[in-house]
Amino acid sequence: MANPLFDRVVPKESAARGQLIECKGKVGDFERLVEIIGADLAAVSEDIRPQRWRAEPVDIRLEFGWVDGLQGIPGITGRASAHIPVVCQRCLEAFELSLNASFKMVLVKPGEWPDLPEYEVWELEEEALRLVDLVEESLVMAMPLAPSHDSLESCARPAVENTESGPEKVRPFADLKSQMEKSNN
């Protein structure tokens, strides 16, 4: 059976049917997501780098419908979730992140932005769209900018303590306020 994510769908037809799609993909189905994860994991030594992460499942649920009473504006609500490897920005070790993306979008032609603030707008250059593109964009946008373990205790290396016993630190602005007051007098 083919994966419905790679089919081209016409949003108005799917909305008219009230189409519901529940499927599983895999992380490797999403090229940009793979690029981002791969670049992040390049910072981790190869011997501890997760290996089969591209085959990890992505659970997807998409539901088409109309967002207006006139059945003129098709919309889609959905969610996608996966467990992906990322590098903690505190300890620089790989860990598994639970990535969850939820979205509520209207699907319109360029320049036809409806006044529906509770929806994101997805502009359609063509009449049909590939669902994989929409889901991938949502997953990429749900990724944290600086992933880190939930707590310091979970990090592989403890945070460096700020001790005063080390070499003397140069603090160029430590006396700036008093210098400014002197120059104003």
Residue-wise pLDDT tens digits, 133-169: 999 999 999 999 889 888 777 786 654 554 455 566 6
DSSP state of 6: G
**How far is 173 from 167, CA to CA, in rounded Å?**
18
Residue-wise pLDDT tens digits, 82-94: 999 999 888 888 8
Q: Tell me, what's the pLDDT at 174?
A: 67
**How far is 178 from 173, CA to CA, in rounded Å?**
10
Domains of the chain, by residue range, sit at 4-159
What are the backbone dihedrals phi and psi of residue 161, each rounded to the nearest 5 degrees, phi first?
Answer: -80, 145
Confidence (pTM)? 0.78
pLDDT at 170 over 60: yes
Residue-wise pLDDT tens digits, 19-70: 999 999 999 999 999 999 999 998 888 888 888 999 999 999 999 999 987 7
Which is nearest to 83 in space by CA: 62, 53, 60?
53
